Amino acid sequence: MSLFFRLQGDGAPLPELEGLEWVTRRRFAEPLVHWATTDLGRASHRDQEGRHALLDHLAAGVALSLGAFWQPAGGAAQQLTPFYPIQSITETHHPEGLCFQLLGTVLQASGGDTPSPHRPRYRVHAKQTYAGLLRAFTHVAELPADLENNLPANIELAGDLVQDGESDAAFLRRLIAPERRGPGVPGLVLTGTCSSTAVLPYTLLPGDVAACRAFFQGRSLPAAEPETLERRHFPAHRPPTAVHYLDRIGLPEYVVTREHPEFDADRWQTWFDLNLPRFHEDAFVVALEDRLTPADGGTHLRRRSHIHLLSGAADFTQPTAHQSWCRLGTVTENDGREPWLGVRLAGFEARAHGDQLRARLLCPTSGEDGRGGLHLVPAVGTTVAVFHSGRLDEAPVVLGNVREEAAGHAAPSLSLTQATTLSLAEVTAEQLGAVAVKSALDLTGESTISVKGENLSLEGRGGLSLKGAQAEAELSGSDFKVGGP
């Protein structure tokens, strides 16, 4: 066979699989992705034991890795790619065909000192300066000294930021997205692509074409091999016009396709390790897609490369989808007066308080000076819903309590078990029905209390006592007593 795949996993030996196609896709500032297509009916080890072992591994969800190999006619097998973890498996149109989607990097163990930039994480980034938060991602992207020294030190985030299931690389891309930055936050662009290493060689640069061009000057795409067929075309979903402009859907690009007449393992390895972006004919190379397929009955390996290019004058800052966020949490801190509430998010990283979020309180009104209005705060230990728009200049907010138990009183009802302060300038009751008080009522005033009405009726079923200064009147049974000094 010319193209075949080997699997790595614990347990029984796994068969080698004849390769129908290998695809590698890379775009700058995004994870490397691979697809390996095979047909189980063409397993080189056709013994049923090895084939069943593979199916048992897949059915049990055992972690497996896959690597691509090439064996020229009469030669020894050569490894074309590292072994990558299998992320997902889909069926193909072949009777027993499977397509393995592979992660572009080897994931490091959870909780390591330098976690993989592509491992999903759940943590809260405490409120801090924008520059300080960028420095927390040096394991994802290099921050050049001249850029770091020019970052404004006085721009603070509006509040805590939540990383909910995003990888560090994805969170960093969202952090610098133009539509998420607040006033005064400098424009930045994340450049680079991943190679076979575990940590991505990303670099943060000022978000303008001139700075990026200066940084990547001299990094040109390798020239086409002799007799390589090269043609230029536009993606099918775009009209074939001479000029493309940035839009919010994607990047304006055209494609150059190279058909390589002969497969050369050394040239492939050099090409495979390229970082992006680069230059080709004064245009930015923003993406590469390579396909390896057997040819001539499996005796040769065909290599086709699709080179995605942007005009040299285009801004290749990538837009990101607007991503708001909502989650449930448990109240851990309630000052009673401050506009912030401490919330613990279940399942988030507890290390370095990564599960603690400070969120602003919502209220129907905060009064004319922002300090009054209706101030009812969820109690410690109760469940609340928290929302964040995703913008850096806006803080997360508490939407309110989430009721988990049956209410003590049927709706509509108002039940406050703690001492409550009521401050009202003036109240007019258009209509007030009967008021029944089922408990003792103690009405105490620190100043004059005046009760006026067209008719005033007081009734004490067990007696009525009136006191004022040193005088006293008591009505009880058939007696009426008035006392004084």
CA atoms lying within 13 Å on the CB side of residue 76: 2
Residue with tokens 């290493």: 197
Q: Indicate the residue type of 466.
A: L
| pLDDT bracket for residue 331 (50, 70, 90) | very high
Q: What fold does the segment set 3-107+217-310 form as a domain?
A: Phage tail proteins - horseshoe like beta roll fold (2.30.300)
The pLDDT tens digits of the residues spanning 189-236 come to 777 765 444 344 577 777 666 766 677 667 788 888 776 777 776 654
CA distances 356 to 160, 281, 333, 359, 481, Å, are 9, 50, 10, 10, 65
How, if at all, do strands 84-91 and 188-191 pair?
Answer: unpaired
Statement: the pTM of the whole predicted model exceeds 0.85? no
- Which pLDDT does position 470 carry in this prediction? 75
Runs of H (alpha helix) within 236-284? 265-272
Contact 131, 155 (CB under 8 A): yes
Mean pLDDT, rounded, for 443-461:
84
**Paired residues of 472 in beta bridges:** 467, 483
Q: Is pLDDT at 350 greater than 70 in this prediction?
A: yes
Mean pLDDT, rounded, for 11-31:
80
Query: What letter would DSSP give residue 185?
Result: P
Query: What letter would DSSP give residue 129?
Result: B
The pLDDT tens digits of the residues spanning 284-300 come to 788 889 999 988 877 78
Instruction: Sheet containing 471-476: give its strands across.
Output: 464-468, 471-476, 479-483
Which of these ranges, 120-124, 215-219, 249-253, 444-448, has the smallest mean pLDDT?
Answer: 249-253
Task: Provide the b/e sequence for 185-210 (b: ≥16 CB within 10 Å).
Answer: beebbbbbbbbeeebbebbbbbbebe
Q: Indicate the residue type of 366.
A: S
Report the Cα 335 to chain-centroid distance in Å. 30
d(CA 413, CA 434): 16
Domain range list for the chain: 3-107+217-310, 325-401
d(CA 259, CA 224): 9
Cβ neighbours of 465 (radius 10 Å) = 11
Report the Cα 190 to chain-centroid distance in Å. 16
What's the mean pLDDT when you consider all of the chain?
A: 78
Most confident segment among 181-195, 391-405, 453-467: 391-405
Contact 68, 22 (CB under 8 A): yes
- Which pLDDT does position 321 carry in this prediction? 53
Termini Cα distance of the chain: 119
- Helices then strands, each counted (H, E), the chain: 6, 25
Cβ neighbours of 332 (radius 10 Å) = 15
Select the CATH number that applies to the domain covering 325-401 from these four: 3.40.228.10, 2.60.120.260, 2.40.50.230, 2.40.10.330.
2.40.50.230
Identify the CA nearest to 310 among candidates 238, 258, 260: 238
The pLDDT tens digits of the residues spanning 158-195 come to 889 999 988 888 888 888 876 666 666 667 777 776 54
Mean pLDDT, rounded, for 256-270:
86
